Chains A and B, each alone.
Chain A
Amino acid sequence: MGNGREKASTSVICLDEPGKELLLMGNEAIARGALEAGVKVCTAYPGTPSTDIIETLAGVAKSMGIYVEWSINEKVALEVAASASFSGMRAICAMKQNGLNVASDFLLSLNLIGIEGGLLLVCCDDPSAHSSTNEQDSRPFAKMADLPLLEPSTFQEAKEMTRWAFTLSEEIKNVCILRGVTRTSHARGNVTLGALLPSNDRKVYFDKERQRNTHPVHQKHNQLHKNLLYLEEVLATSPFNQYQGPRQPKVLIITCGSGWLYSLEAVEMMGLEDFVGVLKIGTLWPLPTKTIVENLQKSDQILFVEEVDPFLEGNVKEIAADFSRQIGPKAFFGKRSQHVPFYGEMNSDRVIEALGRILEVRYQARDPQYEAKAAEVAEKIIPGRVLGFCPGCPHRASFWAVKNALQLDNREGFVTGDIGCYALGRGPTGFFLLKTSGAMGSGTGLASGFGKLAPFGFDQPVIAMCGDSTFFHAAMPALVNAYYNKSNLILVILDNRATAMTGFQPHPGVGMNAMGEEVTPVDIAGVCGAFGAKVEVTDPFDLPGTEQKILQALEDSTGVKVIIMRRECAMLKMGEEKIPYKVQVDTRKCVGEDCGCGRLCTRVFRCPGLIWDPGMAKAKIDEVLCVGCGVCADICPGKAIVKEEAK
């Protein structure tokens, strides 16, 4: 769909059937909410767990008459969305938590600039960092930018909040932020559709009478805070904030987002419905002070249940301090009291644990005998399953060539990594090559720095590795920096023709846009060559050729060298063409442990399609998993792995 393929589930998003109930992902519900609000321009840079919002909208762009784009990065995405808003249209811009860091530069001006058409920024956080480099909480950005922040607790609410956020945004003439987390955005549940907003005939134009900038800064900053005071009043009556429980609970849980359902379930499982009340806050910034004060008066023991940082916890305590005479002393429990862990996702079990400690109630999930058996099985019987590159992944070959070249070069050269599937290169299937990783494009920025350390005695060669989409997102400025400052580095660009990690979205180098239209691709080699980098292009499946090019680059200790390793992602090819090779192990030639290769194929190369047959004590192809790339045949020193062109 990102590349023009229609997903079956996508088309239901634009059904004009109010009242129809569907199973939707939270992100799809957000997309639907935006459509119901009459959104016209939708932008994002892909990032789990936010990607599906814009991907869903891309799939219906033509039929709904909206414009959808994968922008080059989150800051540009917000700028594109803002231009639509300045022209009077409603726009949505989605990103993951790290993306908000990139977009924040513009966001912290845009809040002062103000908007025209409703503008919603959706940011999805990834507690437990399932698919992220950090466990960042994006909510403090709303506080920093003095902008309203909503956080849905259910899939239905994700849709309702999205729709309402556009109205709110237009009312205060400023950006509204909606925060998702993995378990609200990337989970699925029931959603009842509402009506789609009929399109209006408002003229789309930029009012030249107004200058859209941050000046006068003092006055506009003042206005932001006045907006917040006004919003506190409005939000005091919001249906997104609600209390459920007894009139005077022994413990009041204050929660938001995914924490709400976990809290209700925990209370029910422990049978504490008569003793514990749950206050759900859906409007996270500004907090609805009146609602909070009223509820704080119900109990003198307060437990906070929220994901990532103690945001509600800290800010509610601030309100409690302001109103301390009215509400009296409280005992607060949460992350700071360590009744709830500082890290990781929330779940019902964590709420049960916290409530159990506060109320001294025992809860046993399973009988101790079963528990002991389960623990024994987990420890003694179940092997781990580390992530690795897929069978046929071009990255495995690329990392193999880099590993061998660095070994041959023998000067303790190392690799700085980046963000994408190839970040797995820090683990066994990338031969532990990646020695640094940080933000998008950081590998190149770091390499640019290492390349300037020679005068201080630094003599290790440095190779930065980044993907094609990451190159456009953030590595490009770092590479120009390296060239301009006469740094010495090698940048390997793993060009697999997609933003693969997030689901194969197209990028500027692919030749297709988010809506499936053909566009002129931006040639990465041309871009690098244009400012003077020495550029080589290679097919990573040509192992000797690729290795040779890396060695040549390593020998050249001057300037910026770029090696583009170009081969399409194996997943993109799946089902589209026949398997290139029939690969087999010649059991007469494979002598297993006696070979002297140290089981290079299964111990070092580690493709899931290539397994070890303990009975035969030889390597073996798993025919279900092997995609016939044939690379393993080229690494086998005994020529025991044989590839034949498939018929």
Chain B
Amino acid sequence: MRANSESYNLIITGVGGQGNVLSSQLIGQALVRKGFFVTIGETYGASQRGGAVMSHVRISSKKQLSPLIPKGKADIVVALEPVEALRVLTIYGNPETVVIANTRPFYPIEVTSGNEKYPGEEEIKKTLESLSREVYYIPATEKAGQLGLPILANIIMIGALLESNLLPLRVEEFRQTLENNFRGERMEINLQALEEGRKIIWTERTKSFMINPEK
């Protein structure tokens, strides 16, 4: 992992209304507390209105970076919707990009209407893998549904991101930021979601360790 480099380019993507902006803000706040320079550029006109949205989160130990990641320079893509991961990779991906993708599709209205086709699960997986170094699949919406609030998928994804050690940010440090933003019951449920996300990565890792002890 590269949690000790000088700068990181993270893209959080999804569909308007999935809590994309809040996710990037929380991660940004936590990293600024840790002394990093963070710049976040976000698409927002489409928020809440079903469009594709993304936040560019740029982290540097040296300087304030520009709000937009240059072409092909994303290190990490966190996608709250699987096809949105693909969309982002086609512009910002490179062979070393790591992807953390929610597995739950949200169909565009043009797909629902039958005018366009949504790719099948296997095709999505194959394509994601061909455009990245590694892909973590997270059933975040499903797990969030089990917690009773599908919107928590974003926090589950953050849990997975932190557990994957791709960012110079520890879970305890992020918890502090959550506490600054949520209180009481809201805080409890967010903490649970964070743990759910961590657990998924942790389980995956144990599995691969079992199958291939060399790794």
Contacts and interface: CB of A to CB of B under 8 A. Distances in A.
Interface stretch (A330-338, A409-417, A557-565, A603-611): A603-611
B107 A348 contact: no
Contacts of A190: 32, 37-38, 64
Nearest to B180: A8
A248 to B, nearest CB: 25
Name, among B32, B50, B86, B118, the residue most crowded by chain A CB atoms within 10 Å (CB to CB): B50
A394 to B, nearest CB: 14
Contacts of A386: 50-51, 108-110
B40 A187 contact: yes
Contacts of A8: 180-182
B39 A186 contact: no
Interface in A20-75: 21-23, 48
B127 A428 contact: no
B45 A48 contact: yes
A6 to B, nearest CB: 11
A131 B109 contact: no
B61 to A, nearest CB: 12
A131 B43 CA distance: 10
A616 interface: no
A383 B116 contact: yes
Given A188-B25, A258-B67, A374 B93 contact: yes
A156 B39 CA distance: 12
Given A365-B70, A374-B93, A23 B28 contact: yes
A366 B72 contact: yes
A611 B86 CA distance: 22
A377 B90 contact: yes
Contact of B114 (A154, A381, A612): A612
A21 B32 contact: yes
B11 interface: no
Nearest to A603: B113
Contacts of B17: 390
Nearest to B182: A8
Interface in A93-137: 130-131
Interface string A381-393: 1111111111000
Interface in A329-350: 345, 347-349
A262 B71 CA distance: 12
B208 interface: no
Interface in B33-47: 37-46
B32 A23 contact: yes
B20 interface: no
A458 interface: no
Given A186-B44, A261-B66, A625 B110 contact: no
A80 to B, nearest CB: 27
Given A9-B25, A23-B28, A187-B41, A383 B108 contact: yes
Name, among A156, A183, A624, the residue most crowded by chain B CB atoms within 10 Å (CB to CB): A624
Interface residues of A, number: 65
Interface in A222-277: 258, 261-262, 264-266, 269
A386 B51 CA distance: 6
Contacts of A214: none
Contact of A390 (B37, B50, B91): B50
Contacts of B167: none
B10 interface: no
Interface in B1-37: 15-17, 25, 28-29, 31-32, 37
Given A188-B39, A366-B71, A624 B112 contact: no
Contacts of B123: 381
Interface string B79-112: 0000100110111011100000000101111111
Interface in A158-207: 183-184, 186-190
B108 A130 contact: no
Nearest to A265: B66
Interface in B106-146: 106-114, 116-119, 123, 127, 130-131, 141, 145
B48 interface: yes
A269 B69 CA distance: 12
B36 to A, nearest CB: 8
27 contacts: A9-B181, A22-B32, A23-B32, A23-B38, A130-B43, A187-B67, A189-B40, A190-B37, A190-B38, A261-B67, A348-B68, A348-B70, A349-B71, A365-B71, A366-B72, A370-B95, A377-B89, A384-B110, A384-B116, A385-B51, A385-B52, A388-B49, A390-B48, A424-B49, A608-B50, A622-B106, A624-B145
Interface of A: 8-9, 21-23, 48, 130-131, 154-156, 183-184, 186-190, 258, 261-262, 264-266, 269, 345, 347-349, 352, 365-367, 370, 373-375, 377-378, 381-390, 421, 424, 428-429, 571, 599, 602-603, 606, 608, 610-612, 622, 624-625
Interface of B: 15-17, 25, 28-29, 31-32, 37-46, 48-52, 64-68, 70-73, 83, 86-87, 89-91, 93-95, 104, 106-114, 116-119, 123, 127, 130-131, 141, 145, 150, 180-182
